[in-house]
Amino acid sequence: MMPRVDAIWRAPLFQHELARIAVFERGRRFCHHDLAHLLDVARLSWIRILEEGVSIPCDLVYAVALLHDIGRAEQYETGEPHDVAGERIATEILAALPGQACFNEDEQRRIRSAVRAHRSHAVQDPLARVIAWADKASRPCFACPAASDCNWSLEKRNLNVRI
């Protein structure tokens, strides 16, 4: 049970932004940023953290995974990079969680900074690093019907089945 992650899922602003993303991505040929992707990132990240023996609480990992693409609709609408918009929206969502589901100040800072850093290539923070890795590793490029038009470099793509 992860009540604090459930609270993020139920947060009205989270649901609002996820619904906006779904509208913008209706008919999109490339990767979607829906619940399936967010959970793929969460589970892959958690597997990697267990394998590496890194000490990060599971609900912190799931919180960042759920929030890492929450700025996508803003990017589609205004062009603002989704990591920047995502940090701002995540801050608002985290601040509005009910008392018993609150992340403390240090946890909120870690979540916000991992959301902001998840696209960076030179991430230092272990939480942001594993999310950045899972974000790419979760995509089945080898089975993508839009691969010929995708702007990901070949090095970035997953061309084989992998965890």
Interface residue list for Fe ion (CB under 5 A): 69, 135
Q: Give the whole-angstrom CA distance, residue 116 versus residue 127.
A: 12
Which residue, 16 or 37, is less far from Fe ion as judged by CB? 37
Task: State the minimum distance, in angstroms, from the CB of residue 105 to Fe ion.
Answer: 26
Our measurement of the distance from residue 101's CA atom to the centroid of its chain's CA atoms, rounded to an integer in Å, reads 20
Q: Is the dihedral of CA 36, 69, 59, 41 positive or negative?
A: positive
Which residue, 20 or 101, is less far from Fe ion as judged by CB? 20
Q: Give the whole-angstrom CA distance, residue 94 versus residue 112.
A: 9
Task: State the minimum distance, in angstroms, from the CB of residue 111 to Fe ion.
Answer: 15
Which residue, 39 or 58, is less far from Fe ion as judged by CB? 39
Which residue, 102 or 136, is less far from Fe ion as judged by CB? 136
Task: State the minimum distance, in angstroms, from the CB of residue 71 to Fe ion.
Answer: 11
Minimal CB distance residue for Fe ion: 135
Task: State the minimum distance, in angstroms, from the CB of residue 100 to Fe ion.
Answer: 29
- 20 contacts: CB under 8 Å, gap ≥ 6: 73, 77
Is residue 22 within 8 A of residue 34, CB to CB? The reply is yes
Q: Is the dihedral of CA 46, 51, 54, 57 positive or negative?
A: positive
Which residue, 34 or 101, is less far from Fe ion as judged by CB? 34
Task: State the minimum distance, in angstroms, from the CB of residue 56 to Fe ion.
Answer: 18
Q: Estimate the share of the chain in helix, then strand, then coil, as percent rounded to the nearest 5.
A: 65, 0, 35
